Chain A
């Protein structure tokens, strides 16, 4: 499981990944791959990135032992607090890395897609920091359901373009960002927000996010004196998951669990569980698990969490699924809502609805469910859970959903 060798020169993780893009974009991906290879080997670039992560983002993020939540689920739960990062989620790690790269490449205009608005917010933030022009594509439906983030993005000087095609969510925002990129390719840098898209994005996003796992592994060794039994993270495109799991891939005793959005349930057809229910296909530049019908048309996904409401997934996750190194499960909207409430009440931490999916799995997953809870003499399993973001942005959705129940 030597991750360093992944992806190969063609951007493949096993058979997944690659570059399925319009010809206009090929040169930009080649240019980006070259620039990134040089930058990541440079002391100066690495120092600038890690200085900003420390002083601007507030890293390292704490590893917090959630005592009362642990008692509730019957496992020792350590939360990797990405919610405490500047802008409230893990997204900023990647945005800083890519923005530094954009500036090295002389690109002054930045575009991005966003679902929950966290990636849009993080992108707008780094653009304000570096004085770059910023345009954020966001599905019109998400503009509505994530209104607090839209206001912040605009306040930071970025332009939000509501996308009205298709389902008006993340998939469509990504289509529109790609169209912008094709049109303004020479001046514009596209900061993709998850470990998806054509090569080198899945690799680059993973690398910028892998600080999460590096810290968590070190913190675990320091605090527990050993590695955890489980590492759990939610998976939409999969950037926080690959970010935390990357450091543990070779620790074969650590079980890695990715939690997808089960929406109204896997049999309802209304979910975003591409690894659980999808098949390999091509969307947004890479070959990976995808939700599509018999005609090859992409199925509109559903999740209560805008950040997980995506029909595809990063190609490295597809590879990790097939090799069995990571197991992928799903929880429903309802279960995620229960976990959202539980963590808020047990710990005083309001989690993002995305992260609530990972939390919910600790409450319902078979690895945790059947255990005699808190029985004396029984050793509880230890879990590091990536708390990828905070949930202020989700208050409206949660209140709305509770009203309907």
Chain B
């Protein structure tokens, strides 16, 4: 049985560890390969998995995730395939899984039906990048009843007054977007990213993860210092685009291990 994301964060906190959350696009480079990649990431130290549901118009995403979405859709991937992928991964690993996807495919299914299917596949959280809390009333009611976790995003441009609204709406974790921009691996961040993460941390007591642009142990450690976990996605997809499948899998595993080691080397007392 898979535990909830919220519970996972409690366990991590008790053991003084930061959450490592790899992201993979369902169906890229193939459905079978996504499963293998997810299993590899879990054995290399992932705490939670984020699985992307491809969308035709991923406007919050940079080139890497765009390409992975288009390729997955081109191969004929359907939402039910994503659900059965999640079911298999959850069954084999017990690792909590968050689904990331744009709003229209969810609306097209019907919110209730979508949440029900996701729940029965073993999804424990949803991240919808084009749905701010103000537009999420119906989903929040349905998710609450179904005990489905929701994660809303904060961005560097978010006014501090909105932090409370976003935290209140988030039942799994709050996702802090590290940069004003789209997803994609970066090697440098503005110095003010650190100030921003500090102020979000100060205002939000719920589990907080940072994502967008984290590409290696160094950037992960820098971010993890201020938050409870990190999401890494585009860096993996870049590896898949450049390598054969077996090589990519090995490198993804190695990168997860590198980030694991790096964030585990943080003194857990430093961020309180």
* B residues 47-88 in Cβ contact with A at 8 Å: 55-60, 62, 66, 70, 73, 78-79
List A contacts of B159 (CB < 8 A). Answer: 27, 30
- Contact mask for chain B residues 91-112; partner A; CB cutoff 8 A; 1 contact, 0 none: 0000000000011111111000
List A contacts of B102 (CB < 8 A). Answer: 282
List B contacts of A283 (CB < 8 A). Answer: 57, 104
Judged by a CB distance under 8 angstroms, whether A183 is at the interface is yes
Tell whether A179 pairs with B158 under 8 Å between CB atoms, given A20-B135, A23-B153: no
Are A183 and B104 in touch, CB under 8 angstroms?
A: no
List A contacts of B57 (CB < 8 A). Answer: 166, 171-172, 175, 283-284, 298
Are B181 and A166 in touch, CB under 8 angstroms?
A: no
Judged by a CB distance under 8 angstroms, whether A122 is at the interface is no
- Give Cα distance in the complex from A26 to B129, angstroms: 12
Are A292 and B108 in touch, CB under 8 angstroms?
A: yes
Are A23 and B70 in touch, CB under 8 angstroms?
A: no
- Give Cα distance in the complex from A360 to B204, angstroms: 58
* A residues 285-325 in Cβ contact with B at 8 Å: 285, 290, 292, 294-298
Judged by a CB distance under 8 angstroms, whether B131 is at the interface is yes
Count of chain B residues near A, Cβ 8 A: 40
Are B180 and A183 in touch, CB under 8 angstroms?
A: yes
Are A22 and B60 in touch, CB under 8 angstroms?
A: yes
Are A19 and B135 in touch, CB under 8 angstroms?
A: yes
- Contact mask for chain A residues 116-140; partner B; CB cutoff 8 A; 1 contact, 0 none: 0000000000000000000000000
Are B156 and A294 in touch, CB under 8 angstroms?
A: no
Residue on A nearest B182 in the bound complex, by CB: A179
Are A179 and B55 in touch, CB under 8 angstroms?
A: no
Are A295 and B78 in touch, CB under 8 angstroms?
A: yes
List B contacts of A30 (CB < 8 A). Answer: 159
Q: Given A19, A25, A297, which contacts B73 in the complex, CB threshold below 8 Å? A: A297
Are A185 and B134 in touch, CB under 8 angstroms?
A: no
Judged by a CB distance under 8 angstroms, whether A21 is at the interface is yes
* A residues 9-43 in Cβ contact with B at 8 Å: 10, 18-28, 30
Judged by a CB distance under 8 angstroms, whether B155 is at the interface is yes
Q: How far is the CB of A212 from chain B (nearest CB, A)?
A: 30
Tell whether A296 pairs with B104 under 8 Å between CB atoms, given A22-B130, A175-B57: yes
Are A297 and B56 in touch, CB under 8 angstroms?
A: yes
Are B59 and A175 in touch, CB under 8 angstroms?
A: yes
- Give Cα distance in the complex from A283 to B155, angstroms: 21
Residue on A nearest B136 in the bound complex, by CB: A20
Q: How far is the CB of A112 from chain B (nearest CB, A)?
A: 16
Judged by a CB distance under 8 angstroms, whether B152 is at the interface is yes
Tell whether A281 pairs with B108 under 8 Å between CB atoms, given A10-B134, A186-B157, A295-B79: yes
- Give Cα distance in the complex from A28 to B180, angstroms: 12
Instruction: Describe B's contact surface by its main secondary structure.
Output: loop
20 sample A-B contacts, Cβ–Cβ < 8 Å, listed by A number: A20-B103, A20-B132, A20-B135, A22-B59, A22-B129, A23-B132, A23-B155, A23-B157, A24-B156, A24-B158, A24-B181, A26-B132, A26-B162, A28-B157, A30-B159, A171-B57, A182-B180, A186-B180, A296-B105, A298-B57
Q: How far is the CB of B39 from chain A (nearest CB, A)?
A: 26
Judged by a CB distance under 8 angstroms, whether A165 is at the interface is yes
Are B153 and A22 in touch, CB under 8 angstroms?
A: yes
Residue on B nearest A297 in the bound complex, by CB: B56
Tell whether A24 pairs with B105 under 8 Å between CB atoms, given A182-B182, A297-B56: no
Are B181 and A182 in touch, CB under 8 angstroms?
A: yes
- From A19, A27, A179, A184, name the one whose CB has the most chain B CB atoms within 10 angstroms: A179
Which 6 pairs between the two chains have the least Cβ-Cβ distance? Answer: A296-B108, A296-B105, A24-B155, A183-B181, A23-B153, A297-B56
List A contacts of B130 (CB < 8 A). Answer: 20-22, 282, 285
Residue on B nearest A177 in the bound complex, by CB: B59
Residue on A nearest B162 in the bound complex, by CB: A26
- Give Cα distance in the complex from A8 to B195, angstroms: 36
Q: Given B105, B106, B107, B152, which contacts A297 in the complex, CB threshold below 8 Å? A: B105
Are B60 and A297 in touch, CB under 8 angstroms?
A: no
Q: How far is the CB of B110 from chain A (nearest CB, A)?
A: 10
- From B105, B152, B177, name the one whose CB has the most chain A CB atoms within 10 angstroms: B105
Judged by a CB distance under 8 angstroms, whether A178 is at the interface is yes
- Give Cα distance in the complex from A23 to B108, angstroms: 22
List B contacts of A294 (CB < 8 A). Answer: 108
- Give Cα distance in the complex from A298 to B58, angstroms: 11
- Give Cα distance in the complex from A27 to B158, angstroms: 6
List B contacts of A182 (CB < 8 A). Answer: 59-60, 180-182
* B residues 146-185 in Cβ contact with A at 8 Å: 152-159, 162, 166, 177, 180-182
- Give Cα distance in the complex from A178 to B62, angstroms: 11
List B contacts of A21 (CB < 8 A). Answer: 130, 132
Q: How far is the CB of A234 from chain B (nearest CB, A)?
A: 24
Residue on A nearest B133 in the bound complex, by CB: A23
Tell whether A183 pairs with B182 under 8 Å between CB atoms, given A21-B130, A281-B107, A295-B108: yes
Q: How far is the CB of A7 from chain B (nearest CB, A)?
A: 14
List B contacts of A24 (CB < 8 A). Answer: 155-158, 177, 180-181
* A residues 131-183 in Cβ contact with B at 8 Å: 165-166, 171-172, 175, 178-179, 182-183
List B contacts of A298 (CB < 8 A). Answer: 56-57, 104
- Give Cα distance in the complex from A19 to B104, angstroms: 13
List A contacts of B104 (CB < 8 A). Answer: 281-283, 290, 292, 296-298
* A residues 180-194 in Cβ contact with B at 8 Å: 182-186
- Give Cα distance in the complex from A282 to B111, angstroms: 13
Residue on A nearest B58 in the bound complex, by CB: A175
Q: How far is the CB of B45 from chain A (nearest CB, A)?
A: 29
Are A296 and B162 in touch, CB under 8 angstroms?
A: no
- Give Cα distance in the complex from A153 to B103, angstroms: 35
